[in-house]
Structure 1
Amino acid sequence: MSSLHYRYSAMNAGKSTYLLQVAHNYKENGMEVLLLTSALDERDGFGMISSRIGLKRSATTYSADTDFFVLLKDANVACVLVDEAQFLSVEQVHQLHEWVHTRNIPVMCFGIRSDFQGNPFPGSAALLALADNLEEIKTICRCGKKATMNIRTDENGVRVREGDQVMIGGNSRYRQVCARCFYN
């Protein structure tokens, strides 16, 4: 039986690299995958999944109004890979969970758990509740401890503690930190 997987971490842990490696492994074995990414993420162009080490592939985008039952209705793939899964809605996570278990095709979602204020993203909270398989992808803080949180900085590198949960186009203004550095 197939599963809904959630691979999560703080920023800069290699989630997109991991996703692209999984896609490559399927392709090397003659299987097709469907790559999905949030329409909010335009860091390296609309509809692109890219990693900081230079890997990239085009993907189908989803937005807040995407109905995954419609999008995946005729999908003839071995696996669905979802980047930036924190931007999924709770309803979309429920749709993916049902789709996995009625179509018997795995879905692997990759995203961050919480925002720069330590609050969960709705999509991440739903994935943590519904995913059949959870995996933390580890990364480190500048102090050397395991990073589990994210902070946002302004254009001068000064930490920002208030603002909208999502800042479009601001990836370079986020940094992964351990919980101690998050509170200091």
Structure 2
Amino acid sequence: MNAESDDHTGQAAPGERAEQAAERPSAWRRLAARLIDWAIHTLIVAVVATILLTTSIGEDWSGRALGTLFFGLTALLRGIFEIGFVGAKGATPGKLVMSLRVRTSDDGTSLVGWSAATVRGVLIDLPTLFGGLYYIVLIAAPNLNDTAFALWTILWVATWVFWLVEVLSIFGNSARQGLHDKVAKSVVVSK
């Protein structure tokens, strides 16, 4: 407890930013929570894709159609998963397991709400969202010329580079905020 806090409550004293008073989890705990979420999400996508594929036995599934199904489902379910849980509960299942919560950066205690949850979800899942779009474009335009195909591929790879930098940014600052946290004005705190 620092000198500015109220000795009886442990709450931030007037003038002290609440986001600084809230305990910040290590970047490794945040990464562990993300890995748990990915495991749950991957299981859900696998089950849904299996149901869709087994109910359409006899259909001619090309590689592109399977890619579109996979990335489309992944993008849709990741968005529902990330945005839904953070917007409604203030944490994804992985964060709940790791005793983490997403809160507003202005007070460190309030739920972020749906708009901030949407911003966070879109930014953290940009490669998945763009990957789904990438495959839909490939399906819609199977005769895409080499230049257009190369451009779409470069953009897709760029989203993954953005994601890598974005995720690694939580290791490089004392607030342990990724870009998605900064833009959404959110922080991840320990319960």
Structure-2-length-normalised TM-score = 0.23
User: Which protein has the bigger strand share?
Assistant: 1
User: Which protein has the bigger helix share?
Assistant: 2
- Work out which of the two has the higher radius of gyration on C-alpha atoms and give 1 or 2: 2
Structure-1-length-normalised TM-score = 0.23
